[in-house]
Structure 1
C-alpha cells in the first residue's frame, strides 16, 4: 500500500496516541472510536437534509483520456469529456445531486466536491471515505447541497488534479437578491500535461518518487529546515529560488509552460462579451495545482461579494490574490471597449488572460500587464462576513494546532512534524466549537483546505473552507463540528498534499 493511500484503520491507530487539543489551553479534544463514513450518524444527518418532493439534479461525468485544444496548442490529457473545464454542474441549495462517474482511465480515480458540506461517504477521498473507482468501474455520488455558492469538483487521486480533471459547481440561492445583469464563470489553471511532461513526471522531478513510499516520517529524518534556499538549489526550471512573491514569499515549486483562463492560453484567449454599463457577476475559481493568481480587469475596479461561496461585506479593490482552491465572486460594471482579464501567476514568470469585449477595437498586446495588478490587492484574509452568515459567538471546546513545515530535499511536506499517513488525526466530537491554529513554519505559502466544513476566520470572521497562510504567519479559524465522519485536511498545493501535507479531522463517538 502506497504511503499516499490512507486506510481508516491506520487513522484510528494513529488517533489512539494523538492529542485532541492543547491541554495547556484548558480545552479538551475527543476520545472514542472514529465515526466511519458509513456510520449511522452520517446516514441520519443526510436523511435530515432530505425533504419531501426534493428536486433531483442528475449528472454524468466520464473520466477518460482526451484531446484538448488550449487555443492552437493541442494536448493529450485526462478530462471529463472534451472541454476544459469539465461540464458545469448547477443546482439550487437543498437539491439532491446524483453524479454518476464512469472511470475510463487506465488508473484509479475519484471526485471531491470542493467546499460543499456534504455527507462524509460522498466526499471522494480514496481510502478514507470510499474505495477508489477502479478502471472500468463507476460510482454515483448522491448528496444534498446545503449551501449556495461557487464550488468546484476535481479528482482527489494522486496528482490527477494537475490534468484536466476538474469543473465548476454552482449552487444557486433560491432567495438570490440579484443586483447584476449577467454572470460569467472564470476558471484559472496552471498547465503542464501533454507538453512533454505529465504531472507524474513533475512529481518524480521534484523527488517524490526518489524519496520512497515507505513509512519514514519527517520526524525521523534528522531535523527539518522548512524549505530553506539551500535545499532548493539545483532544481533547474523548477527551482523555488526563482519563484518569490512580495505577498506570499515562496510562490510554488513548479514553473508551468502555460497558464489558462477557461482552458485557453494567452495567444488565443477566450472572449467574454457584453454591452457597456452592464453589471457582471464573475464567479472566479483557482483550479491550479501549484500557482496562486493575482487577478485584475484592466480599466476597472471590482467589488468582492463572496469568498468560498459565502457572502462577505462588499469590498472594492483593484486586484485579488487567489490561492489554489479559493473562489471569489465579484461584481464589475463594464466600461466601453476591450479589456484584459489578466491572471498573473504570482511570483512566477507567466500569466493567463481572457478578453472582455463591450465594443469594437483591440485590447492591444495580451502580454501588457494592467496597472491595477500593482495597486490595491485583496486576500481572502482581508474580508469580513455578511451578518447573516457570521458564526455565532461562543467559547471553543477544542483547540487544535496545525503546524506546516517541510523540506525540498528530500521533497517532504508535513503537518505537526509528520507526513501523511503518519500525521496524527485531529480528534473532534459532535457539537463542539473547534478553534484551529494554522502556523506556517516554512518559507512557502500554503492554501489550507478543510473538507466538509466552512470555518470562520477568527480575525475578521469571513466564512471560508480554504485559507492562504503566508510564510511564518499564523491564521486561526473556528468551526462547529456538525458534520460527522472522517474529513481530509490538507494543503491545496497538489504536490505538497501528495508529498505528505495532509491529515484528518476525525470525529470520535
Structure 2
C-alpha cells in the first residue's frame, strides 16, 4: 500500500477541483496545495471520555526475525520473536506515545487501524508522513478518544502479510467488566518464509494475471467486472442457514485451485500454506483455560491480508457485543464471518470440557485452530467438523449500533459513489475505474455529513476501510471502520466529517490495495 506514487496526481486533482493554486504547507517532507487540510487536529477530545489520564509509552522494533509457528520455523519481518506483536493497552482519554526504530532493510510505517487520530499520526507514507528509512526512528503520539479493539500494522507495500502486526486495546474506564476472562484472538493467513514472501506472491499475481495463486476467481478467468450491483447491507444479507465450508464451490482450471465462498462470492487471490490463531498452526494450538460456568470476553481480530474467516466455538453460542470497537445491540449466533481488518468482541458462557475454536478460511482450503479448556477431555483433531459453522453465520454488517453510539439521523450533505472494479489479467484493482496512481480525491468539508456508496462491480469481495473516522451503515447500522462489500452488491455508509486531513479509503485486501484499490478523502479548508 504505497500512496506516495500518486502524489502529483493527487495534488493536481485537489487543486483543480477546488480552484486552488500555490503551495502553503510542508509536513513530513511532503507539500500540499493551499486551502487543503493536510494535517488535522483530532476533533474528538480526550475530555469526552473522562479526561486525559496518563501517557502510555511503547517501542516497536521491526526487524528480521525467526518465528516458531508451532512446528514450522519461518524467517520473516516482525516486531517481536513471537506472534502477534507486542500488545499495547491504554484507557480511553490516555495519550499514546510509540517510538518506532526501523531495523528492516526497507522503509516502513505504522497505521493505527480504526483510531480517530490526528492526520499526521495516521502512518501513511507519502500522504501523512515521510517513509521511515532503514536505521531511522519515528515517534507517533496521539490521544485515544474511543475505547475498543484495534490493531496496528504497516501501510507500506504488502508488509502486513508478514509478522508486522499487533493488537491495541483501548479500555473503557466506565465499563463494569462483567466477565471472568478476557481473551485476544488474532487470525492470520501465512505465507512468508515458506519458500515465498508476500512480495513474491504479489509479483506472481502481477506477472501471471492472478493465475499463479488463483482462488475465488470467476470461471471466465480474466475480468473482475460484472453486472449492475443490487442494493445491499442496509439491513444486511440473510446469512443464516447457509452451508458450511464444505458447501463452497470448487473447480479445476488446468491444475489450479479455484474456490468460491457461499457468502462472499470470490474467496481471495492467494493460496496460503498456513492459517494461524495467535501465531500458531492447528497442530500446536494456543490454549485458553477457564472453569465451567465462567464468562469470557473474546476480542477477535482478522489481521489476514487475503482471507476472510468463519469463526465458531464448538458447543457454544456467541453473543456479539462490539464490532470495530463500538458497542452494538447484542446478537447471539452460531458463527460469525470476519473480513480482513474487521474486529468483533463476543461474550460466551463456558461449558465443561475441551472445545475447539475454529477459524475456517472462507471459501479456501485450511483453517486456524485454538482450544478452550475448562475441564478434562481429549484434544480434538484439527480437522474436527463443527455443526456451528453450518448454522447461523452472522455478518457484522447486519448489526445495529447501541444507542450510546448511534449516529444521529441526518440527510447527507455530500455523497460519493465508489465503484469497485478490476481484473485478474492484468492484475489491477480500481475505484471509479482508476487505480490510485490516477484517482481524483474525494472532497469533503468540515462539518458535513458524508455518505459513501460502495458499489462492487467485481467478482471479488472487498473489505473497505476508512482511515481516521468511523462510519455507520445507513438505517441505524453498526458503527464501523471496515465493511465487506460482496460481488455485485452495494453498501452505503455515513460519517460526520470532523477530523480534517488527507485520509485513505481502500480495500483491506493488501494485494488489491497495492495494485490500485485506494482513494484519498481530502478535506477542503
CA distance in 2, matches of 1:475, 1:77: 36
* Runs of 5+ unmatched residues, structure 2: 20-32, 211-221, 227-250
- Answering whether residue 220 of structure 2 is matched by residue 226 of structure 1, we say no
Structure 2 SS opposite 1:388: helix
1: CA distance between counterparts of 2:297 and 2:477?
Answer: 23
How far off its partner does 1:177 sit? 2.7
d(CA) in 2 for partners of 1:417 and 1:150? 34
Q: Please tell me whether residue 79 in structure 1 is matched to residue 48 in structure 2.
A: no
Residue in 2 that maps onto 1:183 = 182
The residue aligned with 2:236 is: none
CA contact (8 A) 1:3 1:420 kept: no
Alignment correspondent of 1:400: 416
Shift of 1:15: 2.8
- Secondary structure of residue in 1 paired with 2:500: coil
* Partner residue, 2:458: 442
Change (3 A) 1:52 1:183: closer
Per-residue CA deviations over 1:378-427 (Å, capped at 9, x if unaligned) read: 01111001001000111111011001000000000000000012111100
Counterpart of 1:204? 203
Tell me the SS of whatever aligns to 1:13.
Answer: helix
The residue correspondences of 1:137-286 to structure 2 (distance < 5 A) are: 137-207=136-206, 225-226=223-224, 237=256, 242-286=258-302
> Which residue of 2 is the match for residue 427 of structure 1?
443
2:441/2:520 contact within 8 Å kept: yes
Is 1:479 paired with 2:499?
A: no
Q: Relative to structure 1, is the Cα distance of residues 3 and 103 closer, same or farther in structure 2, using a 3 angstrom cutoff? A: closer
Aligned to 1:132: 131
TM-score, with structure 1 as normaliser? 0.89
CA contact (8 A) 1:32 1:508 kept: no
Deviation at 1:360, TM superposition (A): 1.1
Report deviation, 1:225: 3.6
- Residue 220 of structure 1 corresponds to none
Q: Is the 8 A contact 2:420 2:455 kept in 1?
A: yes
Contact 2:144 2:170 (C-alpha < 8 Å) held by counterparts: yes
Q: Which of 306, 327, 342 is matched with 2:322 structurally? A: 306
In the alignment, which residue of structure 2 is the partner of 1:316?
332
What runs of 5+ residues in structure 1 fail to find an aligned partner?
A: 21-30, 212-223
Answer whether contact 1:421 1:503 (CA < 8 A) is retained.
Answer: no
Post-superposition shift, 1:243? 2.2
Cα deviation 1:112-144 (Å, max 9, x = unaligned): 000000010000000000001000001010000
2:90 — aligned with what? Answer: 91
User: Residue 157 of structure 2 aligns to a residue in which SS?
Assistant: coil
2:417, 2:512 → 1: CA distance? 19
Provide the rounded CA distance (Å) in 2 between the counterparts of 1:297 and 1:43: 42
How far off its partner does 1:16 sit?
4.3
Q: For the residues of structure 2 that align with 1:65 and 1:422, how far apart are their CA atoms?
A: 34
TM-score, L = length of structure 2: 0.87
Cα–Cα, structure 1 residues 192 and 3, in superposed 2: closer, same or farther, change >3 Å? Answer: closer
CA deviation map 1:184-229 (0-9, x unaligned): 0000000000000000000011016999xxxxxxxxxxxx94258x
Conserved? CA contact 2:62–2:103, under 8 Å: yes
**Mapped contact 1:381–1:460 kept (Cα < 8 A):** no
Equivalent residue in structure 2 for 1:364, among 380, 397, 407 = 380
- Distance of 1:437 and 1:453 partners within structure 2: 16
Structure 2 CA distance for partners of 1:342 and 1:81, relative to 1, 3 Å: same
In 2 relative to 1, CA 32–475 (structure 1 residues): closer, same or farther, beyond 3 Å? Answer: farther
CA distance in 2, matches of 1:235, 1:329: 42
What is the CA–CA distance in structure 2 between the aligned matches of 1:53 and 1:368, rounded to whole Å?
48
Deviations 1:219-275 (A, max 9, x none): xxxxx94258xxx997965x5xx1200100001001100000000000111111111
C-alpha displacement at 1:52, in angstroms? Answer: 7.7
Residue 214 of structure 1 aligns with which residue? none
Give how far 1:11 is off. Answer: 1.4
CA distance in 1 between counterparts of 2:443 and 2:414 reads 9
Work out the CA distance in 1 between the residues paired with 2:18 and 2:205.
Answer: 32
Aligned to 1:340: 356
* Counterpart secondary structure, 1:341: strand
How far apart, CA to CA, are the structure 1 residues paired with 2:345 and 2:16?
A: 42
- 1:181 is displaced (CA, Å) by 1.1
| Mean CA deviation greater in 174-183 or 286-295 | 174-183
Distance 1:47 1:7 in 2: 32
* CA-based RMSD: 2.3
Could you report, residue by residue, the CA deviation over 1:266-300 in whole angstroms, capped at 9, with x for unpaired residues? 01111111111110000000000000000000010
Residues paired across the two proteins, number:
476
1:295 and 1:210, CA in 2 relative to 1: closer, same or farther beyond 3 A? closer
Taking the aligned partners of 1:341 and 1:409, their CA distance within structure 2 comes to: 37
With over 3 angstroms needed to count, the CA separation of the structure-2 counterparts of 1:137 and 1:252, relative to structure 1, is same
Q: Secondary structure at the match of 1:344?
A: strand
Q: Measured at CA, do residues 308 and 137 of structure 1 come closer, stay the same or move farther in structure 2, by a change above 3 Å?
A: same
The separation in 1 between residues aligned to 2:350 and 2:114, in whole angstroms, is 30
Per-residue displacement from partner, 1:341-374 (whole Å, max 9, x unpaired)?
Answer: 0000000011000010001111321211211001
> Partner of 1:496: helix, strand, or coil?
helix
Whether the aligned pair in 1 keeps the contact of 2:151 and 2:166 (CA below 8 Å) is yes
Q: Aligned with 2:59: secondary structure?
A: strand
